[in-house]
Structure 1
Amino acid sequence: MKILCGTTNPAKLEFMRDMLCGLDIEIIGLNDMKLTIDPIDENGNNPMDNAKIKALAYYKAAKIPVFSCDSGLYIDGLENENQPGVYVRRVKGKVLNDEEMIEYYTGVASKLGGKAKGKYKNAICLVIDEKNIFEYDGDDIASGSFLIASKAHNKRNIGFPLDSISLDIETGKYCMDMECHEKQKDENRMKKAYRAFFSSAILK
C-alpha cells in the first residue's frame, strides 16, 4: 500500500520510514506529491487534534491514504499555561526556526536551574478513506523523559533542533553524542507500537 506521510520535514519522513521498515507499505512525502494546498491551521489543543486536522486536510487534497503525526513537549516545573505543548515552534505568535528554538529552550532550562526535565507526547492519525480513520496516542509512542540543557551542543540534527540540547536522563550525555545502541531501547519500543498500529489499521 502507498501511504502519504503528511510532512515536508525530511528528517521526520525518514524517521517514519525507519519505524515502518519491513511492512508492506511504501511511504511517500508531501514533496513527492507536489501538492498545492493552503496552509493548515493547526489549532488543536493537543497532539491528536493536530494530527487529525493535518491528516484529513492532506487526504482531501491527495485522495490517497495519508497519515500525520504531531507532538507536544511538556516540561516539569512549568505552569500549564506556559507549557509548550503542541506549540513547540510557536512562541508568542512567532514561528521559530531551528536556532531560535535552541536559544529559547536553553533559556527555559536556565530559568529552571540549568536543566529541565521534559517529555514528548506523540499522536498519529491514519486516514485510509472517509470511513476508515484510525488514531493513536498511547504512552508507547511517547518519548522517554530527558533533560533539556541550558547549553547547546555544537552539532545539529536538521529538523530536530532540540536534539542539540537534549541529555540522556541516566548518563547525562547529549543526544548528539549517544551511540545508536544507546538509543535503541526507546526506539525499539516506539517502533513496535507504530508497527502494531499500522498493521491493525491496514488489516481491518
Structure 2
Amino acid sequence: MRLIFGTGNPAKLSAMKKRLSGFDLEIVGLKDLNIEIPEVPETGSTPLENAYQKATAYYKILMEPVFSCDSGLYFDQVPDEIQPGVHVRNVNGRTLTDDEMIEYYSGLAEKYGDLTARYRNAICLVVDDQHIYQAMEESMASEPFLLKAKPHVNRIKKGFPLDSLSVDIKTGKHFYDLDKSVLDTVAVEDGFLEFFRKFIITQKRSMER
C-alpha cells in the first residue's frame, strides 16, 4: 500500500522509510510527487492538532492516503512562557532558521543550565473521508535527553538542527556521535511502529469482510 508522508523534510522522510522498511508499505514524500503543494498552516496547540490539520489538508489536495506527524518540545525547568511546545521553530512571531534555532536554544541552556528535554509526538493518517486514524501515545514520545549550551563541533545537522545541542542521557554521547540506527529510533519512536502495525491489521480485516 502506498502512503504519502506529508513532509518536505528529506531527513524525516529518510528516517521514517528506514523504520518502516519491514512493513508492506511504500512511503513517499511530498517532493516525490512533483506537483506544487501549498503550505499548510499549523495553528494547533498540540502536536496531534497540527498532525490532523496537515494530514486532512494534504488529503483534500491529493485524494489518496496520507499521514502527517508533528512534535512538541518540552523542558523540565523553564517558565511556562518559554516552553516551546509545538512552536519549536517559531519564537516571538518569527520563524527561525536552523542557525537561529541553535542560537536561541543554546541561549536558553546557558541561562537555565543543561535542559532536560523531551519530544511529544503525534500522527494522523487519512485513508479517506470516513477513515482517519490518529494517536499521540506516550510510546511515541522520545526518551528524556539533555539540551546543552555549546553546539557540537559539526554544528548543524540538516533537517534536525537541535541535534547539534542534544545529548543522550544514558550514554552521555552527543546525538551526532550515536550510531545511525539509534538516531533513526530517536527520530521515529517505537510507538509509531505499533501505530502502523495496528493500521495494517485493520486494513487486512476490512479487506477480508
Shift of 1:190: 4.3
TM-score (ref. length: structure 1): 0.91
Aligned positions of 1:1-204 closer than 5 A: 1-113=1-113, 115-155=114-154, 156-180=156-180, 189-190=190-191, 192-203=193-204, 204=206
Size of the alignment, in residue pairs? 203
Cα deviation code 1:144-203 (max 9, x no counterpart): 000000000022321001111000112321110123466587667346434434424533
User: Secondary structure, in 3 states, of the residue corresponding to 1:7?
Assistant: coil
Is the contact made by 2:139 and 2:189 (CA closer than 8 Å) also made in structure 1? Answer: no
Shift of 1:123: 0.1
Name the Cα RMSD after superposition.
1.9
User: Secondary structure, in 3 states, of the residue corresponding to 1:15?
Assistant: helix
In 1, distance between residues paired with 2:184 and 2:160?
18
In 2, distance between residues paired with 1:80 and 1:35?
40
Structure 1 residues 93 and 31, CA, compared in 2 at 3 Å: closer, same or farther?
Answer: same
Is the contact made by 2:19 and 2:184 (CA closer than 8 Å) also made in structure 1? Answer: no
Where does the alignment leave 5 or more consecutive residues of structure 2 unmatched? Answer: none
Structure 1 residues 200 and 96, CA, compared in 2 at 3 Å: closer, same or farther?
Answer: farther
Cα deviation code 1:4-42 (max 9, x no counterpart): 100000001111111211211111111111333332210
The residue type equivalent to 1:10 in the other structure is P
In 2, distance between residues paired with 1:153 and 1:30?
31
Is the contact made by 2:150 and 2:165 (CA closer than 8 Å) also made in structure 1? Answer: yes
Is the contact made by 1:46 and 1:86 (CA closer than 8 Å) also made in structure 2? Answer: yes
Q: Percent identity?
A: 44
The residue type equivalent to 1:150 in the other structure is A
